Amino acid sequence: MAYVLGYVAADGCIHSSKDRKDSFIFNITSKDKSHLVKIREVLESEYKISSKFNGTKTGGVAYQIQVRNTTICNDLMDLGIHPKKTHTLQPLIITDDYFADFVRGFFDGDGTVYLYKVNGTWQIKTGFVCVSLPFINDLNIKLCKALDIPLKKLHEDKPKNGVIKYSIDLYVDDSKKFFDFIYKDDSSLFLTRKKKKFEKWKALKRRGYIKNNDVYPSKVGWHLNGR
């Protein structure tokens, strides 16, 4: 459930029902239908998974679970997921025992991981994007503490539509710690395509490297050491 809460914080929403007073509808949307099937299973439900057009810029077709269940919606609102979540999301109280599961859920919704090369050496970058500054600032503090790494800088992206997005980036060693943290309990609930990228990274035969601490380690801070 901590995982589902994290995933809902990223890709879920609650909105008021137009045809029933004091009634709410809960929705989870994803382009990965098989993943919604997993979530439906842990919810022990038989809610229909339907398809919808999600815009040409986002890949066209997406899938959704849409639930008219007041109890579930009230529970989520008690936990901090409210209507118009994009602009109202605040830090959520998650105990240490479930924090890794919650982060894995949020990462599968609003996180990214990709591989790239610097000076011919494979690198990995992991990140989060969120519109809510209070939420991602709190996540940054708690996650860095859990990983025992320095606090990360929050980056701002100001697109033309005026909605500011905030992001956190983790590189190489920090990404490895992140992988070990969110998958440490060997949970069966995760987004397969993202976990496979981490596994590909771990399987790559990389030449040795050393870090130049005086240079930001994104594109120029990792240098081959000749081994």
- CATH code, 37: 3.10.28.10
Q: Domain range for residue 162?
A: 109-206
| Percentage of residues of the chain with pLDDT beyond 90 | 45
Q: Give the per-residue pLDDT at 222.
A: 40
Q: Which pTM value belongs to this model?
A: 0.84
Three-state DSSP state, 222: strand
pLDDT average, residue stretch 167-185: 92
Same domain flag for 21 and 72: yes
- Residue 165, domain member (yes or no): yes
Q: Give the per-residue pLDDT at 169.
A: 95
- Residue 216, domain member (yes or no): no
Same domain flag for 33 and 81: yes
Average pLDDT score, the chain = 84
Same domain flag for 33 and 116: no
CA 77-158-9 angle, to 5 degrees, is: 20
Higher per-residue confidence, 148 vs 227: 148
Residue 215 has pLDDT above 50, yes or no: no
> Is residue 108 a contact partner of residue 10, using CB atoms and an 8 Å limit?
yes
pLDDT average, residue stretch 55-77: 78
Residue 224 has pLDDT above 60, yes or no: no
Same domain flag for 8 and 42: yes
Same domain flag for 119 and 72: no
Confidence band, pLDDT 50/70/90 cuts, at residue 212 = low
Q: Alpha-carbon distance 10 to 39, whole Å?
A: 14
- 177-205 pLDDT, tens digit per residue, is 999 999 987 678 999 999 999 999 888 86
Residue 207 has pLDDT above 90, yes or no: no
Same domain flag for 115 and 201: yes
Q: Alpha-carbon distance 140 to 166, whole Å?
A: 11
- 120-166 pLDDT, tens digit per residue, is 888 999 999 999 999 999 999 999 999 999 999 999 988 767 788 99
- Residue 190, domain member (yes or no): yes
58-68 burial string, b = 16+ CB within 10 Å, else e? eeeebbbbebe
Q: Give the per-residue pLDDT at 45.
A: 83
- 20-55 pLDDT, tens digit per residue, is 666 888 889 888 899 999 998 888 888 889 987 665
Q: Give the per-residue pLDDT at 181.
A: 95
Same domain flag for 22 and 79: yes
> Is residue 105 a contact partner of residue 6, using CB atoms and an 8 Å limit?
yes
- Residue 220, domain member (yes or no): no
pLDDT average, residue stretch 165-171: 93
Same domain flag for 125 and 78: no
Same domain flag for 81 and 113: no
Q: Give the per-residue pLDDT at 223.
A: 41
Same domain flag for 32 and 117: no
Terminal C-alpha separation, the chain? 46
Same domain flag for 73 and 117: no
Same domain flag for 147 and 74: no
Q: Give the per-residue pLDDT at 206.
A: 60
Three-state DSSP state, 45: coil
**Taking phi first (over 0 means left), then psi (-120 to 50 degrees means alpha), and beta for anything else, what does residue 14 get?**
beta
How many structural domains are present in the chain?
2
Task: Quickly list H helices, the chain.
Answer: 2-11, 33-42, 70-79, 85-88, 96-110, 133-147, 172-182, 192-203
- Residue 94, domain member (yes or no): no
- Residue 200, domain member (yes or no): yes
- Residue 118, domain member (yes or no): yes
Residue 220 has pLDDT above 80, yes or no: no
